Amino acid sequence: MNSLIQSKFVRILTLIFAVQTALFYSASRGERAPVAPPLSAFPSAAGSWTLQQEGVIEQAELDVLKSDDIMTRWYTGPEGGANLFIAYFRSQRTGQSPHSPKNCLPGSGWQPSESGRVDISTPAGPIHINRYVVARGDNQSLVYYWYQSQGRVIADEFAAKFYLINDSIRKHRSDTALVRVVVPVAPGGMDRAEKTGQDFVKTFYPVVKNYLPQ
């Protein structure tokens, strides 16, 4: 009996997915993708944070991500440093879409030790984002990430898919961006990393919000 119910449930989910996919691709015709400024022109300073170094993204990673624009930078502030990574996708209609750091980081050798969400108050309003702690050997990093989608902050991948379908139908848009902040954790220094990361997000979130299409 349970297998029958489970089989019926799977068929219903498959049907719903098929309908959503059809609506997405039909709504994407004539997509009105906004023109976004190049990420190379992203501000080099905000608040007490200043650009320390432009990062390098390997070609193999670029080939996997297939984003329309991408940036990785190290910034330095009063309490330490943080890496800001942004991958912008002008359209998701042809299979281009953000890859969750929960999938990418383990592929790079980083193993997760904690996973959850956190609320951070910013000058542009409170945001609810992902909090992720990863380790590789003796190195540990605190990761915050979210999807910046047409003025929205989205933490949940399933919610991101819902908005993708909804925006494709209502606005003929499927543009989005993955925003990731990484803070190295010194031995026994999680509290300091947390303080550094949250200060970075508070400072840069309004910049990110105003820079990417809304």
**Predicted local confidence at residue 25, as pLDDT:** 52
pLDDT in tens, 32-71: 778 889 999 999 999 999 999 999 888 888 888 889 999 9
Contact between 168 and 174 (Cβ < 8 Å): yes
Q: For position 16, what pLDDT does the model report?
A: 47
Q: What is the pLDDT of residue 2?
A: 46
Q: Which helix (H) or strand (E) holds 67?
A: none
Q: What's the gap between Cα 96 and its chain centre?
A: 14
Give the C-alpha separation, 87 to 165, whole Å.
Answer: 20
Measured between alpha carbons, how far is 30 from 28 in angstroms, rounded to an integer? 6
Go through the domains of the chain in sequence order and give each one's CATH number.
40-211 (3.40.1000)
What is the reported pLDDT for 160? 86
Residues in the chain with pLDDT values less than 50: 1-2, 4, 10, 13, 15-17, 19, 27-28
- The reported pLDDT for the residue numbered 13 is 44
Q: How far from each other are the two terminal CA atoms of the chain, in whole angstroms?
A: 49
Which SS3 state, helix, strand or coil, does residue 112 take? strand
